[in-house]
Copies of this chain bind each other. A is one copy, B any other.
């Protein structure tokens, strides 16, 4: 195996140090040295993507690199934070040059698109897994948390739902057209960083949909001490989902399927129009899907739908969290 130092030097040392804003010292010393902005909170999160747990080992290396960063950036988006820096911990069994080159292209591509500087990491022997720590910034007092939903607030989601689960289902059926809209959703999710920042000052709570709409809504309700009524008919379904899964499973995918990396937010009814306008400016839909209620619990969703997704298919690859 090529040494860690050579691997890092070859694939993970950014080529243009001058463009890395807020980096006083990048890859190559014991630590990176970063320059936080005054008046900002530092938002930090880590997510690990494990082969055959979170993604198929056989997925294109470029999308594995993109996706590992995307799922972490999605947490910054959910706080309304701007992405700034990341660290990558890569475990792999051997060092394949072609694979690494493609993986790095996917990772660096999303770094560039999101304004994130890779400032360090490590490479170890082990089953393929990628741990990505992201660091972002949000002005003091403006972070979106899970705990601010109030009775009467509108529940809304960005973009469309069910694409992650639908894409995985297609992949497992052997679909190999990587431009199929559902595969694009699953393999190359787009963290909603711009949307999160645009919703500062409007949303009362936010979370990214990684575990599935209902599971993530549950986190918001618990943190906010409220309940919700969901209008299942209003859920925006990902392009191609109905055709691929049929109406029942499409709805289950949207409710429980996970890996969508859209934002679920609550906001006062009178802020919906302005929020919709701002996201429209980003080319992104904001769809009301229910209401926050004072009484705890969830209404509007059939019990069968709540558990339906878990019984759907025999996915080899699924989220490992639960």
Contacts and interface: CB of A to CB of B under 8 A. Distances in A.
A168 interface: no
A48 interface: yes
Interface stretch (A57-65, A127-135, A305-313): A127-135
Contacts of A54: 124
A119 interface: yes
A35 to B, nearest CB: 6
A217 interface: no
Nearest to A147: B29
A193 to B, nearest CB: 12
A228 to B, nearest CB: 18
A103 B95 CA distance: 31
Contact of A30 (B50, B208, B321): B208
A223 interface: yes
Interface stretch (A76-84, A106-114, A232-240): A76-84
Interface stretch (A37-45, A243-251, A275-283, A294-302): A37-45
Contacts of A75: 30-31
Given A31-B79, A33-B138, A131-B131, A122 B47 contact: yes
A146 B29 contact: yes
Please tell me how many copies of the chain the complex holds: 2
A207 B120 contact: no
A44 B41 CA distance: 16
A129 B25 CA distance: 28
Contacts of A135: 42, 44, 135
A53 interface: yes
Interface stretch (A85-93, A149-157, A159-167): A85-93
B45 A30 contact: yes
A79 B33 contact: yes
A201 interface: no
Contact of A321 (B3, B29, B147, B320): B3
A17 interface: no
23 contacts: A3-B321, A4-B321, A28-B223, A29-B79, A29-B147, A31-B44, A31-B45, A32-B43, A33-B42, A34-B44, A36-B36, A42-B42, A44-B133, A45-B120, A48-B89, A48-B122, A48-B124, A48-B126, A54-B124, A89-B89, A124-B129, A126-B129, A133-B133
